[in-house]
Chain A
Amino acid sequence: MPVTTFANHKGGVGKSNEVEGVAAELAMRGRRVLAVDLDPQGNLSRRMGYQEHELETRPTIAEAVRDHTPKALRASFLPCQWEQDWAENITLVPSRIELEERISEAGVPLSWQRLHKCLAPLAGDFDDVLIDTPPTIGHLLHLALVASDYVVGATTPTYDSVRGIYRLKNFIENEDQRAGLGLRCRMIGVVINMKRAGVANHDQRTEALITRFGDLVWPPHLPLRASVEDASERAEPPQNAGPEVQQIFRDRVDRYMKAVA
Chain B
Amino acid sequence: MSGKRRPLPDVEDEIVLERGVGPGAVVEKSDAPTAPTAPTAADTAGVEIVGRVVKSPVALDIPTAPQFELASPDASRDAQLVHYENLIGGAKEAVETGARALDRYWTLTAGRALVEIRDGKLYELYGYTSFMDYVAQRWGMVRQHAYKLMRTVRVQQALPEVTVDWTVRQVDLLGSVAEPHDSAGDEAAGDKAIREVWAKAEELGDTSAKGLDAARKAVGGEAPKALEAVKERKPVLPVYQRAVKPFQDFRRLRQVAIENPEYAVELIKTLEAALNELRAESPTP
Cβ of B31 under 8 Å from chain A: yes
Residue of B12, B20, B30 touching A58 (CB-CB under 8 A): B30
Please tell me if the beta carbons of A51 and B126 are within 8 angstroms of each other in the complex.
yes
Cβ of B243 under 8 Å from chain A: no
In the complex formed, the residue of B with least CB distance to A84 is: B2
Cβ of B249 under 8 Å from chain A: no
Kindly specify which of A113-121, A162-170, A228-236 makes contact with the partner chain: A228-236
Please tell me if the beta carbons of A79 and B2 are within 8 angstroms of each other in the complex.
no
Chain A residue numbers with a CB within 8 Å of B25 are 98, 101
Smallest CB separation, A242 vs chain B (Å):
12
Chain A interface size, as a band, is 35 or more
Question: Per-position contact with B for A59-89: 1 when CB-CB < 8 Å, else 0?
Answer: 1001100110001100101111111100100
Interface size on B, residues (CB 8 A): 32
Provided the pairs A100-B21, A101-B25, A197-B262 are in contact, do residues A234 and B11 lie with their beta carbons within 8 angstroms? no
Smallest CB separation, A129 vs chain B (Å):
19
Chain B stretch 105-143: residues in CB contact (< 8 A) with chain A: 125-127, 137
Query: A residues engaging B (CB < 8 A)?
Result: 46, 49, 51-53, 56-59, 62-63, 66-67, 71-72, 75, 77-84, 87, 97-98, 100-101, 196-198, 223-226, 233-236
Residue of B11, B18, B265 touching A226 (CB-CB under 8 A): B265
Please tell me if the beta carbons of A58 and B8 are within 8 angstroms of each other in the complex.
yes
State A131–B97 Cα separation when bound (angstroms): 56
State A197–B257 Cα separation when bound (angstroms): 12
Please tell me if the beta carbons of A63 and B1 are within 8 angstroms of each other in the complex.
no
State A66–B21 Cα separation when bound (angstroms): 14
Chain B residue numbers with a CB within 8 Å of A87 are 2, 6
Smallest CB separation, A232 vs chain B (Å):
10
Provided the pairs A57-B31, A234-B137 are in contact, do residues A98 and B2 lie with their beta carbons within 8 angstroms? no
State A56–B18 Cα separation when bound (angstroms): 10
Chain B residue numbers with a CB within 8 Å of A53 are 125, 127
Question: Per-position contact with A for B7-30: 1 when CB-CB < 8 Å, else 0?
Answer: 111011101111111000100101
Chain B residue numbers with a CB within 8 Å of A100 are 21
Please tell me if the beta carbons of A81 and B1 are within 8 angstroms of each other in the complex.
yes
Please tell me if the beta carbons of A198 and B259 are within 8 angstroms of each other in the complex.
yes
In the complex formed, the residue of B with least CB distance to A103 is: B21
State A58–B29 Cα separation when bound (angstroms): 9
Chain A residue numbers with a CB within 8 Å of B13 are 71, 75
Please tell me if the beta carbons of B261 and A197 are within 8 angstroms of each other in the complex.
yes
Chain B residue numbers with a CB within 8 Å of A78 are 8-9
State A123–B162 Cα separation when bound (angstroms): 65
Chain B residue numbers with a CB within 8 Å of A101 are 18, 21, 25
Smallest CB separation, B126 vs chain A (Å):
6
> Can you spell out 20 A-B residue pairs with CB atoms less than 8 angstroms apart?
A49-B2, A49-B5, A53-B125, A53-B127, A57-B31, A58-B11, A59-B11, A59-B17, A59-B30, A63-B16, A66-B18, A72-B15, A75-B15, A81-B5, A82-B2, A87-B2, A87-B6, A100-B21, A101-B18, A197-B261
